[in-house]
Structure 1
Amino acid sequence: MRVLSRIRRCVVNRPVRFFQLSLISAVLGSSLLWSTPARSDAVAPEAASGWTSKAPVTGQKMMLVTANPLATEAGMAVLRRGGSVIDAAIAAQAMLGLTEPQSSGVGGGAFLVHFDGGKVTTFDGRETAPAAAKPERFLDQTGKAMSFYDAVVGGRSVGVPGAIAALELAHKRYGKLPWNSLFDDAIRRAEEGFPISPRLYTLLKGENYLKLAEPARSYFYQADGSPKSQGSLLRNSEYAATLREIAKRGSAALYSGPIAEDMLKAISSHPSNPGDMTLADLQAYRAKERAPVCGSYRSFSICGMGAPSSGGIAVLQMLKLMERFPLASQQPLSVESGHLFAEAGRLAFADRGKYLGDPDFVPVPTAGLLDPAYLTQRSQLIDPTKSMGKANPGTPPGAVVALGKDNAIELPSTSHIVAVDKEGHALSMTTTIEDAFGSRIMVRGFLLNNQLTDFSFSPTDNGQPVANRVEPGKRPRSSMSPVLVFDSSGQLYAAAGSPGGSNIINYVAQTLVGLLDWKLDPQQAVSMPHYGNRNGATELEKDQKLEGLAEQLKAKGHEVKLIEMTSGLSAIVRTSKGWVGGADPRREGVVAAE
C-alpha cells in the first residue's frame, strides 16, 4: 500500500488503556426529543428535527450507511448483486436526490475517498464558478458583502454541478455493474412515490424561500402554502426522466441537451437574482481524481480529502495537535477533553481560514500544514489550564504568507455515505447542494446548488487577496471531511464522515477521537454530545445536558455558546467479529449489513 507505507514511518504508539464510559453512557442512554426552533444562519445548515436512539449494527461481509432508509436499501441491493462500493454509492445518491432533496443530488457536488484494497484515492466533484464570475460577485453596490440569502436564492449562487461526473469517473475505474443498471430503484421510486419523512416535513415547514417559485412550490407545498403532510406520497416523474437520461448518457446529460438548456434558462431568468452560467461552462466541467491527504494519529493512519476541501487537512491537524495529550485517560465529556479539543480547533481553523482554497488557483501548503515539526510547534500553544482565545494562523513551511482571511459563511446542507463491500474495499463520500434546498431553483425534478456562496464574499482582507475568493472556473473551499482509517498493519479499520457545514471538521475529528482514543463503538461515537471551536466561541450542543461543562470551560477562559448541532455522522469500524456500523441519531440514517 503505497500511500500507507509512507505514513507508517511517523506513527507513534497509542495508549493501551481506556476509561470507563459512565458519564457518556448516562447521556447517550437517554432518548431525547426536542421541538425544532427556527434556524439560525450562524449555527446550522439544516434545522434539528429530533433524536432517535439507535443501536450499533453488525455484519460479516458488507455494510452501508446512508442518511435515508430508502437510499440505504437501494445501495445495499447493489452490493448484494455483486456491485462495488462505487456502484452502491451511485444507487444511493440517486435515491438521496429524491428522498432527501434538501441535502444533495444531481444538481450538487461531492467528495469521495476510496480504498481498492491496496491504494487510497479521492475524487473531486466540487462545483465550479462560471467563466463570467468575478471576485466581487457577492458584494453589493456599496462594496459591502451581500446578506446571505440575498446571495443564495437565485441563479447567482449556482455552480456547475459535479457529483454525477465524480461518480462517473470513479465508476470507470472501480465500477463492476453496468452504469445504466444503477438508477433503476430510484427511477421506480420516483414514479411510484415516496413518503415525506419527518425530517423533510420539518425542514419544509421552516423554509421561507422554496415556496416562492414553481415548480418547487407545487411539488413540495399545498395550495395554501403549507407543506404537504408528513407521510404523504411525493411522485417525481421529471426526476425519473432525468435519471433515465443520466443512465443512458452519463454526466453528459447534464452538460448538453435539454436538461442543460433548462438549467441555464432557469439560472439566467431568475426574477430577482439571475446568474451568468453558459453552455460552455457546463461543457468545460471535469471531475478530478486527486491524491489523498494522509497522516498519522497514535498507531493509526488516516486518509481524507485534500484541497479544495479543507476537511482532510483540518481534521489531521486537530488530531496531531492533540496527540501529545493523554486523551485515552480522560472522560469524553470532561472539561479536560472539551478544552483540548476546542483549542486544537482554534489553531486548525485559523490556518484553514488563511491558506485553504482551490489548489489549481492558489498555492495551498498542504505538506507544510501537516508537517510534524510545524504541528509540534503549534501544539505548544495549547495550555491545558486556560484558553488561548482567538488563534492566529501559523507560518507552515512553503506557505505564501501574503494572503488575507476570508469571510465565507459556508452553511452547506450535505449528506454522507460510507460503505464496505465483500472484498473489503471501502468508500466515504460527502455530497452536497450547500444550503438546505440549495438555490431554491428546481429543474427537471431536482434542485440546483448554491455552492458559490462557499467562496469568501469579500475578495480581499486588508488589501491582501483571499485564497478562497471568487474566480472564473474555480472550486469553492469546502469543509467536507470523508475519511478512511487504517491500523498499524495497513488494514482498513474505519470509514467515517458527516454533513454539517464548517462544523463537519469538528464532528469528524471528535468521532475519530471517540473511536481511536476512547474505544467507543461506532454508534456511541456518532451519538456523542458535540463540542468544538471554529476559532471563536466554544460551541456546545444544546439539549445534551452540557450546562455543567459550559461553566467549567468558562472558568478556563472560554466564551461558550449552546447551539443546535445537526450532524449526520456515519461510521463503520472493523472488529474481530466483523464490521460494526453506526448512524447519527440526529437524522434519519440507517445502517444495513450482511
Structure 2
Amino acid sequence: MMKSLLLAACLAFHVWSPVVAADVLAPIAERGLPQDPALKEDINPEGATGRASRQLVQAAHYMAVSANPLSTQAGADILAQGGTAVDAAIAMQMVLTLVEPQSSGIGGGAFLVMADPTTQRVHAFDGRETAPQAAKGDRFMIDGTAMDFQDAVNSGRSVGVPGVLRMLELAHDQHGRLAWSRLFAPAIALAEQGFAVSPRLHALLRDDEFLRAQPAAAAYFYDAQGQPWPVGHRLKNLALARSLRVIAAEGAQAFYGGQIAQDIVQAIQAHPVPGDMTLADLAAYQAKERQALCMPYKAYDLCGMPPPSSGPLAVMQMLGMLSHTGIAAMKPDTLESVHLFSEAGKLAYADRDFYVADPDFVDVPVAAMLDPEYLALRASLIKPEHTIGRAPPGDPAGMRAERGKDGSPELPSTSHMVAVDSEGVVVSMTSSIETAFGSKIFVDGFLLNNELTDFSLVDVDAEGKPVANRVQPGKRPRSSMSPMVVMKDGQPFMAIGSPGGAAIINYVAKALLGVLDWNLNIQQAIDLPNRGSRNRFTELEKGTSLHDLVGPLRAMGHEVREIDFPSGLHGVVLTEHGLEGGADPRREGMAAGG
C-alpha cells in the first residue's frame, strides 16, 4: 500500500519516469476461466484479475484515469503542461499501445465523447474500424454456416481498417492545444528505454496459445524458449518507437499511407488465412464526428456515443426502464435490486441484438427505442416476484418483422480512459482491438485488431431474415463500447466507461446507478460486485458477496452463473469541491491529478 501511495504522489507532482518496477504495480491474483465451450463470450481472455484495493483520488484542477499507471502518468503530465483533455487522451492511448497491447492500440479503433462546459455541448468522435471494400456477408461462413469463432478471430479476415489515429487527429484538430508530436513523447521514451512487464500482461501472455503461433508476435512477446517475459522484465519495442516517431512527425497520414500501410497490408495478406484489406482501404478511411446521443434522466442528461455503438443506447434503455421501479431506494446488493437490474438488461439486450448496427447502412430506430412511453411499456414486463426468462425484442418502430437476430459473441479486450483538464473539459474514451491481442498479427511494433468478428458471423438468422449487423463493404461493426458523460444543468458532472465486450453495458449501467441513484462516490460505485444479464442467464461476479443471492434468484426462476467478470471501469465525478476519480480494482489502472 505504501508503494502505491508513493506512486500516486509521484504522479501528482508530474515526475516522468520511463520505467516503473513491477512490484509497484498492484498484485494480480490469478483466477481460472469458465470452461463452457458453448458460450464463447464467457471464456474471457482477460479473466486473470485481482481486486487490490483502490482509494478515491481527489484533485483540484485536472485528472487522468486509465488502465495502466504509466499511461495515467503520461496523461497527468500532459495536463500539467497545459494540455487539453483530448491531448491527454492521445498521450494515454499511445502509451497503452505499448504497455497494454492485449487491449487497445493504434492497430484498432475507438470512440471518444467530449463535454465542453463553456459551450455546454457534447461531442462524439467515431474511430470505429471499417470492413474492406472486398468484404462480403459470407466472410465468416463455410458451406452456409458460421465458422468456429476462434478460427474467425485468428485470421487476416478479422482485421478491420484501424480508426483510432484518424479519430484522434480529428479530435486534436478541433480541441487540442499542445503540438501533436509532443503527445507521442512519453510513449516513444518508454518504447525505447523499456517498461516493466506487468503481472496482468505476463498472465495473459502465458495463457495465449494463438499469439505464440504468430512468428512476429512470438519474437517480441516471448523469449527464445517460447516462455512469456517474466514480471518485471524490461521490455523494449524499438519498432513501435520508430512507427510513433514517423506518425508524430507526419501525422496520421503516415499510418494510412507509405511504409506502415504497406507493412499492414502485407502482414494481413501473408497470414495463413489471408485477409483482403488493400492500400486503398487504408487510404480511404475517414473518422467521423457524430451527434452525441443524449437522454434526460432525473436531474441529469446521460450522453454517449450513438450507433454504431449499442452501448450508451442500451445503458439509457436500462436506466429509463429502471426509473419505473423502486431500485433507487434499494440497497445495491439486495436480491430485489439485482433481480430488477438483470431484468432491465434482458430487455435492453433483446432490442440491441435486433436493431443496432452502423447507421450509415441500416435504419437504427434510436428515438423510438428511447421514447418514454416505449420504455414504460418495456418496464411493465418486469415482475418483482419472478423473472421473465429470455426477453423478446420490442417493436419500437414497426420493423421487428423484417429484422433478424444477431447472436454472435463479442469478446472483451478493450481499454477505457478519462481525462478532465483545467478548464473542465471532459473526455471519456473507449478503445479496443477486440479479443485479447486482437488478430495476433504483429506489424511494425503493434498488433492489428480482429474487430470484424464484431459483425454477425452470418448474414441471415435462422428464420432467413437479414441481420442488421451483417458484414458489408465499408461498414463499421456494432460495438458495446460505452464511453459516457453525464451532464447536470448544462455542465459536465461525470464521465465513465469500461472494457468488457458485451458486458460493458452492464458495467457502465451499474456504475451510473451507483453514483446517480445510490449516492456512492465513483470508487464505491466501481467497486460494487458486477451483476446483470445479457438476455441469456443471470451473471454474478464470482468470489463476491453476491454469491448469497444464487439460491434466492434461482427460486425466482433465474438461470444463474457465477463467472469471472473483470470490468475495467474508470471514471471521474466533478463536484463543487473538485474532482474525484476512481479506477477499477480488478485491473492495474489508477487515477491521478493535480
Q: CA deviation at 1:493?
A: 1.0
Cα deviation 1:316-352 (Å, max 9, x = unaligned): 0000000022223211100110000000000000000
Q: Which amino acid aligns with 2:236?
A: R
Counterpart of 1:48 in 2: which secondary structure?
coil
Query: 2:212 corresponds to which residue?
Result: 211
Q: Which amino acid aligns with 2:473?
A: P
Counterpart of 2:545 in 1: which secondary structure?
coil
2:128 to 118, 126, 129: 126
Q: Tell me, in whole angstroms, the C-alpha distance in 1 between the residues paired with 2:33 and 2:549.
A: 25
Check conservation: 2:33, 2:564, Cα contact below 8 A: no
Check conservation: 1:127, 1:161, Cα contact below 8 A: yes
Superposition map of 1:241-390 within 5 A: 241-271=242-272, 273-390=273-390
Query: 2:450 corresponds to which residue?
Result: 450
Query: 1:549 corresponds to which residue?
Result: 549
Query: 1:403 corresponds to which residue?
Result: 403
Q: Tell me, in whole angstroms, the C-alpha distance in 2 between the residues paired with 1:145 and 1:438.
A: 19
Q: CA deviation at 1:283?
A: 0.9
Q: How large is the RMSD of aligned CA atoms in angstroms?
A: 1.3
Q: Tell me, in whole angstroms, the C-alpha distance in 1 between the residues paired with 2:77 and 2:27.
A: 32
Q: CA deviation at 1:39?
A: 6.1
Check conservation: 2:28, 2:200, Cα contact below 8 A: no
Q: Which amino acid aligns with 1:110?
A: A
Gaps of 5+ in 1: 1-30
Cα deviation 1:167-197 (Å, max 9, x = unaligned): 0000011001111111011101100000000
Superposition map of 1:3-402 within 5 A: 34-38=29-33, 41-43=40-42, 44-117=44-117, 118-140=120-142, 142-271=143-272, 273-397=273-397, 399=399, 401-402=401-402
Query: 1:514 corresponds to which residue?
Result: 514
Q: Which amino acid aligns with 2:564?
A: E
Q: Tell me, in whole angstroms, the C-alpha distance in 2 between the residues paired with 1:468 and 1:33.
A: 36
Q: Tell me, in whole angstroms, the C-alpha distance in 1 between the residues paired with 2:296 and 2:449.
A: 35
Change (3 A) 1:401 1:119: farther
Q: CA deviation at 1:45?
A: 4.5
Counterpart of 1:422 in 2: which secondary structure?
coil
Check conservation: 1:363, 1:400, Cα contact below 8 A: no
Q: CA deviation at 1:37?
A: 1.3
Cα deviation 1:542-569 (Å, max 9, x = unaligned): 0113221111111111000000111100
Change (3 A) 1:251 1:32: closer
Query: 1:500 corresponds to which residue?
Result: 500
Cα deviation 1:44-64 (Å, max 9, x = unaligned): 351223221111000110111
Identity between Structure 1 and Structure 2 (%): 54
Gaps of 5+ in 2: 1-25
Q: Which amino acid aligns with 2:41?
A: A
Q: Tell me, in whole angstroms, the C-alpha distance in 2 between the residues paired with 1:58 and 1:479.
A: 29
Q: Tell me, in whole angstroms, the C-alpha distance in 2 between the residues paired with 1:154 and 1:405.
A: 25
Q: CA deviation at 1:36?
A: 2.2
Counterpart of 1:101 in 2: which secondary structure?
coil
Q: CA deviation at 1:408?
A: 2.0
Check conservation: 2:394, 2:400, Cα contact below 8 A: no
Check conservation: 1:68, 1:100, Cα contact below 8 A: yes
Q: CA deviation at 1:82?
A: 0.6
Q: CA deviation at 1:35?
A: 3.0
Q: Which amino acid aligns with 1:35?
A: E
Q: Tell me, in whole angstroms, the C-alpha distance in 2 between the residues paired with 1:285 and 1:484.
A: 27
Q: CA deviation at 1:214?
A: 2.1
Q: Which amino acid aligns with 2:127?
A: G
Query: 2:5 corresponds to which residue?
Result: none
Q: Tell me, in whole angstroms, the C-alpha distance in 2 between the residues paired with 1:395 and 1:322.
A: 19
Q: Tell me, in whole angstroms, the C-alpha distance in 1 between the residues paired with 2:208 and 2:564.
A: 17
Q: Which amino acid aligns with 1:571?
A: G
Superposition map of 1:428-443 within 5 A: 428-443=428-443
Q: TM-score scaled by structure 1?
A: 0.93
Check conservation: 2:416, 2:570, Cα contact below 8 A: yes
Counterpart of 2:146 in 1: which secondary structure?
coil
Query: 1:8 corresponds to which residue?
Result: none
Q: Tell me, in whole angstroms, the C-alpha distance in 2 between the residues paired with 1:566 and 1:148.
A: 21
Query: 1:19 corresponds to which residue?
Result: none
Superposition map of 1:404-423 within 5 A: 404-423=404-423
Counterpart of 2:469 in 1: which secondary structure?
coil
Counterpart of 2:402 in 1: which secondary structure?
coil
Check conservation: 1:87, 1:177, Cα contact below 8 A: yes
Counterpart of 2:427 in 1: which secondary structure?
strand
Q: Tell me, in whole angstroms, the C-alpha distance in 1 between the residues paired with 2:252 and 2:154.
A: 25
Change (3 A) 1:480 1:370: same
Check conservation: 1:49, 1:198, Cα contact below 8 A: no
Counterpart of 2:340 in 1: which secondary structure?
helix
Q: CA deviation at 1:259?
A: 0.4
Q: Tell me, in whole angstroms, the C-alpha distance in 2 between the residues paired with 1:42 and 1:498.
A: 17
Q: Tell me, in whole angstroms, the C-alpha distance in 2 between the residues paired with 1:68 and 1:300.
A: 30
Cα deviation 1:474-524 (Å, max 9, x = unaligned): 00000000100112x222110000000000000000000001111111111
Cα deviation 1:42-86 (Å, max 9, x = unaligned): 313512232211110001101110000000111111101111000
Aligned residue pairs, count: 561
